[in-house]
Every structure is written in C-alpha cells, then in structure tokens.
Amino acid sequence: MAPRLQAEHDLSSAELIAVEERLNRDNRKLTGQDDDSGMVYVLRDDAEQIIGIAAGYSWAGIAELKLLWVDEACRGFGYGRALLDAFVAGSRGVRRIWVSTHDFQAPGLYEKAGFERMAELAGWPEGHSNIILCKTLAAGG
C-alpha cells in the first residue's frame, strides 16, 4: 500500500505525542544526547485550579521554555516572574535557556530576567513580531 497524504487537523493529542516521541528518539540517536526531560512549574489557587504555568524541557545542555502563562485575574502580582525564576533555577545544569514570545506578550519580562533578544521576526502574526530570546547561564544551571 502506498502512503497517502491527507489533512487531519483534529489529530488527537496522544497521536501527536507518540509522533513527537519518535522524532525525539531519532534526535537522541543522531546526537548521542539522551538527557531530555520535561520541566513544568505550576501555580495553583486555593481550589487547586491552575492559575499559572511555566513548561518546557531540557536536552543536550539547553532548555526551552515553551509555555509561560498566568491567568488574567492574577497578573500584576509577580507570578509570571516567579514561574520564570523557578524554570531558570530548575534548569538542570543547562548552559542556555531559549524562549519565543510575541511583542504583545512579555518580552520585557524575559529581558528583565537577563534574557537577550536573538531574533525578531516581523509579520508573525501580521502587524506584530515573534521575538526569540536566550539566557546564557554562567556555569550551566
């Protein structure tokens, strides 16, 4: 049977995770680096609802912060910075931490925490920019 290409925009999270793990397995084999691990810091309210999260991973001497979010009602109290600081502090001996944000999100938060702008991609989305930042840690972690 020949492979067929088709749009499946509602692919399940489980299927996406399984394919991502296959890619990660290939990356481990090709680089000889098998130290990848998820990193998640959660802020919960008294009802145990998530009101903030910093999530990403570490691998091969780097970490990437993929998601930093604080519930709108809880913004302005320093929770975003606390989550970012926890992610940086728990970065398991990595040399660099990468993050992507938009100009309408929180580039200033990252810059105040010592991240440097590495690239700014205009028109992503239209009328705005996607900003790539990196923090280099002194001795790895």
Whether 2 is in a domain gets the answer no
Whether 1 is in a domain gets the answer no
Cα gap 29→101, rounded to integer Å = 30
Which tens digits make up the pLDDT trace of 9-38?
999 999 999 998 999 899 899 999 888 899
Q: What residues make up the domain containing 101? A: 35-136
Whole-structure pTM value: 0.86
Which tens digits make up the pLDDT trace of 89-132?
998 789 999 999 999 999 999 999 999 999 999 999 999 999 99
Whether 26 is in a domain gets the answer no
Whether 67 is in a domain gets the answer yes
**Residue 70: which CATH number?**
3.40.630.30
Specify the number of domains making up the chain.
1
Whether 101 is in a domain gets the answer yes
Cα gap 103→137, rounded to integer Å = 24
Whether 29 is in a domain gets the answer no
